Structure 1
């Protein structure tokens, strides 16, 4: 079964040159989001893009603490320390290799089970089985790396981020890190994330990580966030930040209401992997090696 998130080289050119993405104009009363929130969305999109690079010694010019990967699931990412902003950034790569196709295609919802997450916390929560397997294959390494950094820098904020499938892994990781490191301030930023779990999982993220710490960005007509259908039991977590039209600026981004706002990208008919999936906040995802210098 072909992956719905497999990166197709032709899409890179399409993403750069496509000028006919559908436009969505909101009421003039909607003034967009704050400049600070917009700047954060731009910044963490760069980490989510940089993590695709084969070698990334200085992600966004900061200190590479550790990399993690699993040969069988091809889950991959890095942990970065930004001493100026007092942040630890955990970024997960999206689909890139053959094994990712298997992970993406496993649409079965399975009861949430992950290292350090008590059964009573995970009760009534189910997630995409493939995404959970992929995260669990690197979870101990991720938690250990972040814990060691927080032992030295206890006041640093933990940012978890990822694009496409990486966004789904990041959402599970944000819950896992918050449960395992309850004193940490954990924030989540995802880009083009497909639906990852059921309503129980969405509610659990809201409650444990905190709704104000959740940022799920969708670019215009990106078909991936709506590709996994709700009728299979899936539901997005809050909060969607929908860039409803180009160009990228704060006034063209709307903070949507709740978990599945019918006035935001949920209203889009999914066209699958399209040009919008590869461009987030001015960043052509996956291809910019200068982000690692």
Structure 2
């Protein structure tokens, strides 16, 4: 399980517990390692399998942490022209995922849903096997940028297919994924403490898709300021759109802040057996 010992999420607070901050760093190491073609032991843990789709160029891995008793689904961020073309498909369409039915009105980014649909069957099959062999394990979905957006869809889909399993989500630099109805439903499924949406400073990616197009962020934003430490993280409004946090900074698109989180440069490999 997570080492997060914070008893409650204190909205508007600047500063988080050491354990919460350590968790944010811990799961970002998975997200960063997803950019590496070969990662034999992601974050030093057991690599269950890689997954990919050659058409959408969506890639990632499933890892297992037998100390925390969790299965980690990690999705890679944008790295190719195909990925950026998916990012640009901004039409909102109904959220559908095998095995679940979201409430009427829940709509999500068509490109993100297309990307998730291309690997969802693989991931659900892997989880059936892993959770069947490891009773009591939780599932954590993680990712940076496009991977962060997909990790949010993944969390919703996994929870719907495995309702008895504890599911958490850690996203970093993720753009808005769906409309307000989707955000409200997601926030009910993943209340504070179950979803951690991290934004670094003036990273423009999270606000690149504007609310004027009908989009609305999910969950509590953990706004990481500099220098990176537990005292420089602000816990923002639980409805996803806090005008005093990263939304207060006009989007500059993909900028330097998007490439470094919690003091770690994106694509830094945390793969035992690979020299950093």
Q: Contact (CA 8 Å) 2:145, 2:175: kept in 1 or not?
A: yes
Aligned to 2:3: none
Find the residue that maps to 1:60 and give its secondary structure: coil
Q: Shift in Å at residue 292 of structure 1?
A: 4.7
Shift of 1:30: 4.7
The corresponding residue for 1:55 is 38
Provide the TM-score with structure 1 as the length reference. Answer: 0.86
Cα distance per residue 1:68-95 (max 9 Å; x no partner): 1101111111100011111111000000
Cα deviation, 1:104-153, whole Å, max 9, x if unaligned, reads 110111111121122xx342100000000000110011111112111111
Q: CA RMSD in A?
A: 1.3
In structure 1, the residue matched to 2:107 is 126
Looking at structure 2, the residues matched to 183 and 177 of structure 1 have their Cα atoms a distance apart, in angstroms, of 10
Q: For structure 1, which runs of at least 5 residues remain unmatched after alignment?
A: 1-28
* 2:79 corresponds to 1:96: yes
d(CA) in 2 for partners of 1:37 and 1:273?
27
The match for 2:253 is: 272
Is it true that 1:71 corresponds to 2:54 in the alignment? yes
Q: Does 1:136 align with 2:117?
A: yes
Tell me how far apart the structure 1 counterparts of residues 52 and 76 of structure 2 sit (CA, whole Å). Answer: 10
Given that 2:14 and 2:235 are in contact with CA atoms closer than 8 Å, whether structure 1 keeps it comes out as: no
Deviation at 1:36, TM superposition (A): 1.2
The count of residues paired between Structure 1 and Structure 2 equals 261
1:158 is matched with which residue?
139
Residues 205 and 211 in structure 1, CA contact (< 8 A), matched pair in contact too: no
Which residue number corresponds to residue 283 of structure 1? 264
SS at match of 1:61: coil
CA change 1:139–1:292 in 2 (3 A) is farther
Bigger strand fraction: 2
Match of 1:177 in 2: 158
Pick the aligned partner of 1:252 from 232, 257, 262: 232
User: How far apart are the structure 2 equivalents of 1:178 and 1:30?
Assistant: 29
Of stretches 143-152 and 192-201 in structure 1, the one that deviates more from structure 2 is 143-152
Task: Give the TM-score of the pair, scaled to structure 2.
Answer: 0.92
Secondary structure (helix, strand or coil) at the match of 1:55 reads coil
1:210 maps to what in 2?
191
Match of 2:171 in 1: 190
- Counterpart position of 1:226: 207
Tell me, which stretches of 5 or more residues in structure 2 are unaligned?
Answer: 1-11
